[in-house]
Amino acid sequence: MTNRKPVDRFSTVRLAGALLGLSAVLGGCNQTTEIVTASVPNDYRHRHPIAITEADRSIVVFVGRGRGGLSGPQRTDITGLAQTWVREGTGVITADVPIDTSNARAAAASFREIQSVLMAGGVPSRAITMRQYRPDDSRTLPTIRLSYPKISAVAGPCGLWPDDLGPNIDNPGYNENKPYHNFGCATQRNLAAMIDNPADLEQPRPESPAYTSRRNIAFEKYRRGIATTTAYPEADKAKLSDTGK
């Protein structure tokens, strides 16, 4: 007969518990914990970031019923549009020309002159397209709108007020002295509108070549022991008062 040792039930329970704990620890290693929060960033630059996108730049040309052609200021505006398109345009220039209106004939004549002014400003003919439209409101004067896409910096929209500014049960952040949601939006939007080249937000521009003529003059003065500073004899003439002299 074989002698068998009695089974220790408490040791078996402890072993099973240890195995379960080990499996739970090993299983937790393969899980990713993701924390989701609905909080709004306190920094207005993160709450209202400046984004780089493609937006339209446009001008409006008013056309009367009795005149087909462009005035002097209108030619200046269109010439300026051609120059900016050459520098920053990312698509064709689209001209929205009205039809079936009282000034439709004058608008067609104005568009032909617009084409010639744009081509003289460096815009190729294949980059100019016409799109006819019928105005919805007969009381307004139909116009010719010229537009083209360009890379722009934008921010907003502003004027969103999801929470009350004062103490309210729906505004738990009031007691924490946090900035309100719309804070800084107008500043970001104005800054984006003033940016000439949106690429400046991503990388610096390369250095421009040195002004060789002026640099040679400054070096020659330095070699001869003459002061290299520039004198402005007319600077004091614009002063209104001599107080402090």
Give the mean pLDDT of 153-169: 82
- Check which CATH number belongs to the domain holding 141 and give it: 3.30.1330.60
Contact 58, 147 (CB under 8 A): yes
- CA-to-CA distance for 54 and 57, rounded, in angstroms? 10
Burial class of residue 66 (count of CB atoms within 10 Å of its CB; 0-12, 13-18, 19+)? exposed
Are both 160 and 137 inside the same structural domain? no
Domain-ending residue, one of 139, 154, 169: 154
> Is 141's pLDDT higher than 60?
yes
Predicted TM-score (pTM) of the model is 0.61
| pLDDT value of position 14 | 62
Between 65 and 7, where is the model more confident? 65
Q: Is 223 a domain residue?
A: no
| pLDDT value of position 70 | 92
Give the mean pLDDT of 162-182: 74
Domain-ending residue, one of 154, 179, 210: 154
| pLDDT value of position 22 | 58
| pLDDT value of position 167 | 74
- CA-to-CA distance for 10 and 16, rounded, in angstroms? 10
Between 42 and 71, where is the model more confident? 71
Q: What is the pLDDT of residues 71-129, one digit of tens each?
A: 999 999 999 999 999 999 999 999 999 999 989 999 999 999 999 999 999 999 999 99
Q: Is 201 a domain residue?
A: no
Q: How many domains does the chain have?
A: 2
Are both 138 and 164 inside the same structural domain? no
Cα 215 to Cα 211, 212, 222, distances in angstroms: 6, 5, 11
- CA-to-CA distance for 102 and 66, rounded, in angstroms? 9
Contact 64, 142 (CB under 8 A): no
| pLDDT value of position 39 | 56
- Rg (alpha carbons) of the chain, rounded to whole number: 35
Q: How many residues does the chain have?
A: 245
How does residue 34 score in pLDDT terms, banded at 50, 70 and 90? very low
> Is 26's pLDDT higher than 60?
no
| pLDDT value of position 242 | 67
> Which range marks the domain in which residue 148 is found?
52-154
Q: How many CA atoms lie within 13 A of 65 on its CB side?
A: 5
Are both 97 and 146 inside the same structural domain? yes
Q: Is 135 a domain residue?
A: yes
